[in-house]
Structure 1
């Protein structure tokens, strides 16, 4: 069983995201270890890009800060190699097609796999264009994670059948960011995926920030993904963000693990 599948084998998964290099790579490394200790099941590492079209203002600003600090793909590969000395949970890169293309697609995927990355999310690559990346991802043992959104409609079955690792179910239209309410019928999306591909886990992201929201999403799926709320903490506390992120992840993991009783988990 792959590390990604193992992340979902023990129950509901909590998947945090952070932007590598915000405020610096040393703090990113410390935050990743803290999130793992706090119960994260899989961690998404954002490789910053100058035009992150799927991101809201919080993660856009984090990308800008990281790039202004001189973060590169090579420095992030080195970060992952350091993390892999002690870390066993799955790590997935989230970035944009231009980052991969500019590095050289095969060179990028080979380096990511050698560093110890398990999968790749490219939010700006539609399903119809995934074959530009999928064969090389398979060659190097990386799962190319598919996204399914409320607008995917008639393509959901097709996307689900070809999915690898897990399916990223987008809970809300628009860009990433915290939302007061999630109104999409996520349960219906997940049910369509499960019918098409019963063995693929489904995790829900976009808009989740509170333990109550995470519990509600985990109740109808296999896990919850949170990015903007964590990136907000990194932006607010900078190099001192580790304790705040650790406490937040611990609360969110508790909520996801007990979706019928979300009120028991205190918000950050």
Structure 2
């Protein structure tokens, strides 16, 4: 069973998925961050592939992408790092990125490299569904990769049901219109959107992302879905860190256990 499917089958709720950018803050931090996140209780990892124009991401993640590229991160370098991933990391791992650098790398080579590294799924926000269905679905499935689609408050019910039909992992619920970024709490409109999606009785579980930054928003997301994806708030927590291990531990505790966050800088 794919690790993502197994996570939702075995745990099913209060799932914490953490996004971080490969090669950030420093080029060789990718695996140490993954190991530490697993150690302190993250349930799933979303590793961002740095790109010069990450259109779905807000300023915090954009800045981390730019720094990672300056550090020398490339897809080739990332797959070199991921060769040792499964010697220490057992939780599900998803790569998040944009289709352009993947096409430049070569889609078949990319899928093979993901398979060899033990990657479980992909989030490609700018990959059209029709392209996925007609060109890539069989290839992804051949290499055990679950493709994760995003929905937003503006997504029509017909589109949501089509995504639900084409999905075999979970659906990424974007909490609000716009780009990624931390928020202190969800608006009434967002809460109503969560309730509307729950009423559709979809077959796939959902994780809520965009705006998860603290214990309050994490718990709100867990009440309305199977859990949450945190990105910008985590990137901020490690961006100037001088002690990654301690800062990652403090951050995850602040999210899951409602303790005050102290960052070592």
Q: Quick check: TM above 0.5?
A: yes
Equivalent residue number for residue 194 of structure 2: 187
1:214-253 aligned within 5 A: 214-237=218-241, 240-253=243-256
1:46 corresponds to 2:48: yes
Equivalent residue number for residue 91 of structure 1: 93
1:21-170 aligned within 5 A: 21-131=23-133, 132-154=135-157, 155-170=159-174
Q: Secondary structure at the match of 1:18?
A: strand
Q: Which stretches of structure 1, 4 residues or longer, exceed 4 Å deviation after superposition?
A: none
8 A Cα contact 1:156 1:192, kept in partner: no
Q: Kindly provide the CA deviation profile for residues 167-217 of structure 1, in whole angstroms up to 9, marking residues without a partner as x.
A: 111101100011233221342354155x232xx221100011011110011
1:6 corresponds to 2:6: yes
Using the size of structure 1 for normalisation, the TM-score is 0.89
Equivalent residue number for residue 213 of structure 2: 209
Moved more, 77-86 or 54-63: 77-86
Matched residue pairs, number? 254
Work out the CA distance in 2 between the residues paired with 1:127 and 1:253: 34
Gapped regions of structure 2 (runs ≥ 5): none
Moved more, 125-134 or 208-217: 125-134
Work out the CA distance in 1 between the residues paired with 2:115 and 2:193: 32
8 A Cα contact 2:208 2:221, kept in partner: yes
8 A Cα contact 2:24 2:67, kept in partner: yes
Gapped regions of structure 1 (runs ≥ 5): 255-264
CA-based RMSD: 1.6
Moved more, 179-188 or 52-61: 179-188
Q: Secondary structure at the match of 2:79?
A: helix
Change in CA separation of 1:146 and 1:267 when aligned onto 2, cut-off 3 Å: farther
CA positional deviation for 1:71: 0.6
Work out the CA distance in 1 between the residues paired with 2:177 and 2:144: 31
Using the size of structure 2 for normalisation, the TM-score is 0.90
